[in-house]
Amino acid sequence: MERPAWAPQGIDLSVPSVSRIYDFYLGGSHNFEVDREAARKAMEFMPGLPKVMQANRAFMRRAVRFAIGEGITQFLDIGSGIPTFGNVHEVAQAADPEARVAYVDHDPVAVAHSRAVLAGNDRAGIAAADLRKPQEILNDPVVGELIDLDRPVALLLVAVLHFVEDADDPQAAVATLRDALAPGSVLILTHASYEGIPVPEEQAGGTVGVYKNIKNPLVMRSREEIARFFEGYATVEPGLVPMPDWRPETPAAQEDPYAYSGYAGVGRKQ
């Protein structure tokens, strides 16, 4: 296959990428047939997967505007993926042109594409680093240049923790990041869960199997397990809830049942 101009050199185009699959679900154009194939396979079990991703993005935009409303102008978005339409820097900088955004991803595709999108925006940048190594993120020069850790920061962990297995101790990574943040900082988080999915767990397990096969295991956690990531934070109203229920802007009656797959919450560091 021909390598499009936006695809970074050295990337194996025959291997699906979680970032590009997500981009496909959101209706983006930065994905290949191998990604679409994996996405369609996952959708055989959960046809509403694009709705889940859209609910994630809609929550993220509401939460970013909430943070700006709280006077927070610095955003650290880990596992940011490919910056498709309506990304953090667009939402934040539309609300406050002074807002600064440091994106972090370990997928070379996401990093290369983000660099291209962010060229010329001196208040946003991308760092190639991994959530499993939080110290590397905190020490990254791009992050250091954009984020002042002595002032409140909005830390975004949106649709990323479910790709970190328990063996890699996501709890410790989240705690390390929390400890580095100034009081008044907020954690903006979403996580996949079997709770709320409108199909039987066995069927949803088929989707989990697809991600396992592409070497990106999807770890479903219960609401109780997800709530532990908020240790050291006071959750803001309405707490840890299905994504459409977090400060909705439209009546819930309009939501697709799939949008309720997984949880969303915002916590404030005391």
Full domain range(s) for residue 219: 50-269
Q: What is the pLDDT of residues 235-244, one digit of tens each?
A: 999 999 999 9
Residue 139 lies in a domain: yes
Residue 241 lies in a domain: yes
Residue 7 lies in a domain: no
Q: What is the pLDDT of residues 27-42, one digit of tens each?
A: 988 889 999 999 999 9
Residue 25 lies in a domain: no
Q: Band of the pLDDT at 251, cuts 50, 70, 90?
A: confident
Alpha carbons 29 and 95: distance in angstroms, whole number: 26
Residue 246, pLDDT score: 97
Domain count for the chain, please give it: 1
Residue 175, pLDDT score: 98
Residue 117, pLDDT score: 87
pTM for this predicted structure: 0.94
**Residue 98 pLDDT greater than 80, yes or no:** yes
Phi-psi region of 151 (alpha: psi -120 to 50; beta: other; left: phi over 0): beta
Mean pLDDT over the full length of the chain: 94
- In sequence order, what are the residues at sequence separation of 6 or more whose Cβ sits closer than 8 angstroms to the Cβ of residue 210? 38, 41, 42, 45
**Residue 1 pLDDT greater than 70, yes or no:** no
Residue 2, pLDDT score: 73
Could you give the residue ranges of the DSSP H alpha helices within 70-124? 88-95, 108-118
Residue 15 lies in a domain: no
Residue 253, pLDDT score: 65
Alpha carbons 137 and 119: distance in angstroms, whole number: 21
Lowest-pLDDT choice from 5-9, 79-83, 197-201 = 5-9
Residue 29, pLDDT score: 87
Residue 7, pLDDT score: 75
Residue 244, pLDDT score: 95
Share of the chain above pLDDT 70, in %: 99
Q: What is the pLDDT of residues 185-209, one digit of tens each?
A: 999 999 999 999 999 999 999 999 9
Strand 233-235 vs strand 241-242: parallel, antiparallel, or unpaired? unpaired
Q: Band of the pLDDT at 252, cuts 50, 70, 90?
A: low
The 8-class DSSP code of residue 79 comes to T
Share of the chain above pLDDT 90, in %: 83
Peptide bond into 238 cis (omega under 30): yes
Q: What is the pLDDT of residues 138-163, one digit of tens each?
A: 999 999 999 999 999 999 999 999 99
Lowest-pLDDT choice from 92-96, 124-128, 247-251 = 247-251
**Residue 174 pLDDT greater than 90, yes or no:** yes
**CATH number for position 113:** 3.40.50.150
- Can you point out the beta strands (E) in 18-137? 74-78, 100-105, 124-128
- Residue 30 near residue 42 (C-beta atoms within 8 A): no
**Residue 173 pLDDT greater than 90, yes or no:** yes
Residue 45 lies in a domain: no
Residue 95 lies in a domain: yes
Residue 29 lies in a domain: no
Per-residue tokens: 196: 């709320």
